Amino acid sequence: MGDYVWFHDVSWHASYAIYFFVIGILAGLSFLSYGSWITPALRPLREKAAYLSLALLAIGGLLLIADLSQPLRFLNTLNPMYLSFTSPLAWGALNIVAFGVASVLYILELRKGQDSARGKLLALVTALLALGLPIYTGYDLTVHQSRPVWNTPVMPVLFVALAIASGSAVGSLLSGGNAEAQKVLREYMLWSTAGVGVILVSILGTTNYGGSAQELTFMILTTGTMGMIFVGVGILAGTAAPVAMLFLAHLKQQTTGLMIAALLILLGSAALRYALLMGPQQLQTLY
Amino acid sequence: MSEELRVSPIETRGVAGKKRYAMVVDTRRCIGCMACQVACKAEYDTPLGVNRTWVPYKVVGTYPTVKKQFLPRLCNHCDDPPCVRNCPVDATYKVEDGGFVLQRYERCIGCRSCMAACPYNARFMLPAHRTYSSITRVVDKCTFCFHRVTQNLVPACVQTCIGRSRVFGDLNDPTSEVSYLVAKNATQVLRPEEGTKPHVFYIGADRNATEFGRDAYRQPEVMEPERSAFNRHFKI
Ligand code: SF4
Ligand code: SF4
């Protein structure tokens, strides 16, 4: 009673979570576009995935720039005189630009309409650069040593798994009734979402059994509205339910079930990113 | 963190010929007048809603055995500052001689990475409009009064501290008052487990004030009125 504390706003707001979501989907789509060169069943997705991933890059890039309090100074992140490579953001800025350039070159090659060796190589380069995007966004959180949950080595791995899951979910929605493609995408969705589940369990375990900051963050993440978003939508509806459905669909080959699972995965991955970004920032609000 | 332990090349402790400025806050002498907070606001025209230094307090104990425990707060000018290594464009940097952690306002892109990295909430975003300054929409923080200290003055908060709770000086100088206070008293830094090696040392700080208490658990929706009030007056 009668305490005097000072309110400090959180550093990163929800728009950053939307950016994470968009960047995850575009990375997953790039993996699929490259996958189409190796797995013939994914061939119908090649162009669609490449175009959509470039469009999402434009949206994600604009979101990121708009989130800066000095939007025009985003160019500073590309100035070699300023860049500081101890920050994952610097690597991220270079990664985004390199991915954008590779994507455009890849799409130009695709427009020629032939299955060229150069096309396959560009698909591989684009996919590798796309892999860097969820990794850097994961590191973006991991490096903050004072934030429970963020400061865990699994964060980049979680973001890669989420990227595969959400990219495959969008791929599944794009594939419609194509049974061959759906069969492959079902496997991708099932195992990546199961992987997300395993990582979440380990994060929750280490957070709950951690120090006082971890323990309090666990409480914030698992109760009230944040608990509803993280546990209810993110873990139960967006991870456990689609894994169960995909497992059943695996037996029964139901396209409708796959579509619903894909939508749940997208909903869940959006919720998880929001909760993982905002939840661990709450504790410091009144420190 | 032991005073002897030096692990990162960015650290200034014991580096010959280099100053290492630090502040000692003797909480036993703090009377909670908040004159330091006011002096800082006056020195920098810090906008409403944010502070470079602030003096929170906790009421500890049960009536009639109660006490107000003050804990003056500011940027710790950490010897190994996570805010510096997380800035993508070197807009925040550490001055090699002195250890001040400062801002390049003209370079800051406003990504708030440094704010997320600071374990002490020492950083804040400046609003879009200010009366006496054109420095807006970039991150700001305490500078240890770099402009005063380099003119052989002490920081404004130290100058004004009526209880002489705040003492400022060079820790690399064994004859300075801060060296004496750190050597002769049991001191504490905030959140030492983060490895930041703060340069603000507290004498007599109460763990009720330095640790996260149970009351730190507040759901975002409980904080929402506070946050929306803050945002109403604070357009970025
Ligand atoms: S207290 Fe925060 S802002 Fe100040 S140097 Fe340390 S990490 Fe940086
Ligand atoms: S907000 Fe400014 S000072 Fe802070 S990390 Fe970003 S560019 Fe650097």
Closest-CA residue to B20 (of B142, B181, B171, B146):
B171
Q: Do A223 and B219 touch (CB under 8 A)?
A: yes
Nearest CA residue ID for atom 4, ligand 2: B114
Give A190-231 pLDDT, tens digit per residue: 999 999 999 999 999 999 998 889 999 999 999 999 999 999
- Per-residue pLDDT, averaged over B62-80, amounts to 94
Domain boundaries, chain B: 3-233
The residues, any chain, with a CB within 8 Å of residue B52's CB and separated by 6 or more, are B40, B44, B46, B74, B75, B140, B141, B142, B143
Cβ count within 10 A of residue A179: 11
What integer pLDDT is reported at residue B13 of this predicted model?
A: 74
Give B125-183 pLDDT, tens digit per residue: 999 888 889 999 999 999 999 999 999 999 999 999 999 999 999 999 999 999 999 99
Best to test chain B binding among A1, A3, A77, A149 (most B CBs inside 10 Å): A3
Best to test chain A binding among B71, B76, B212, B214 (most A CBs inside 10 Å): B212
B4, pLDDT greater than 60: no
- Per-residue pLDDT, averaged over A65-83, amounts to 95
| A residues 32-91 lying closer than 8 A (beta carbon) to B | 67-70, 73-74, 76-77, 79, 82-84, 86-90
Q: Between A253 and B15, where is the model more confident?
A: B15
Q: Do A143 and B117 touch (CB under 8 A)?
A: yes
CATH class of B3-233: alpha beta
What integer pLDDT is reported at residue A251 of this predicted model?
A: 60
ipTM of the complex: 0.93
Give B76-104 pLDDT, tens digit per residue: 999 999 999 999 999 999 999 999 999 99
| A residues 174-233 lying closer than 8 A (beta carbon) to B | 211-213, 216, 219-220, 223-226
- Per-residue pLDDT, averaged over A92-114, amounts to 96
What's the predicted TM-score (pTM) here? 0.93
B236, pLDDT greater than 70: no
Say whether domain A14-285 belongs to CATH 3.30.70.3290: no
Give A123-177 pLDDT, tens digit per residue: 999 999 999 999 999 999 999 999 999 999 999 999 999 999 999 999 999 998 8
Q: Do B87 and A84 touch (CB under 8 A)?
A: yes
Amino acid found at B113: S
Give B179-229 pLDDT, tens digit per residue: 999 999 999 999 999 999 999 999 999 888 898 876 677 777 777 777 777
Q: Between A153 and B232, where is the model more confident?
A: A153
A74, pLDDT greater than 90: yes
**A162 Cβ under 8 Å from any chain B Cβ:** no
Q: B30: distance to nearest CA of chain A, Å?
A: 15
Instruction: Please tell me which residue of chain B has the smallest CA distance to A89.
Output: B88
Q: What count of CB pairs under 8 Å joins A to B?
A: 156
The residues, any chain, with a CB within 8 Å of residue B201's CB and separated by 6 or more, are B22, B23, B24, B25, B178, B181, B182, B187, B188, B189
Give A107-121 pLDDT, tens digit per residue: 999 999 888 999 999
- Rounded CA gap, A251 and A69, in Å? 51
- Per-residue pLDDT, averaged over A263-275, amounts to 98
What integer pLDDT is reported at residue A184 of this predicted model?
A: 96
